[in-house]
Amino acid sequence: MRGDQLVRDFLWAVYEKGEQYSGWVGAGQIMPSLGLDPKNLTTEDDRLYIRVAESCEVLGYIEQAADMYRLVRITESGKKYVESGFRGL
């Protein structure tokens, strides 16, 4: 999967699941949406998850509340990006 698609899928998962869980979403809820295994946190899947989360944070689309992006929420900027249909990435 391409990097930009991973970012879109990540943001969509945080956006959608955040609506269900008061905004904050755990890595275990996001990773399956990316086709990644949340059960083993020392795998390539975990490293890929962290890289995608870091990219989204740098872009201002998410913020984290726990180390290694274990708990994140989407920002207003991230919401606008998702609601715009992901134009501009």
Looking at every residue in the chain, the average pLDDT score rounds to 89
Other C-beta atoms closer than 10 Å to the C-beta of 11 total 23
pLDDT of 16 > 70? The answer is yes
Determine the pLDDT at residue 25.
95
Q: Is residue 89 part of a domain?
A: no
Q: Are 75 and 23 in contact (CB under 8 A)?
A: no
Q: Let me know if residue 71 belongs to a domain.
A: yes
Residue with tokens 């020392």: 42
What is the CATH classification number for the domain harbouring 7? 1.10.10.10
Q: What strands lie across the sheet with 71-74, from one edge to the other?
A: 25-26, 71-74, 62-64
Q: Determine the Cα–Cα distance for residues 28 and 70; give it in Å rounded to an integer.
A: 8
How many domains, the chain?
Answer: 1
48 within a domain of the structure (yes/no) = yes
The model's pTM: 0.88
45-76 residue pLDDT tens:
999 999 999 999 999 999 999 889 999 999 99
Provide the domain limits for residue 35. 3-83
88 domain-assigned: no
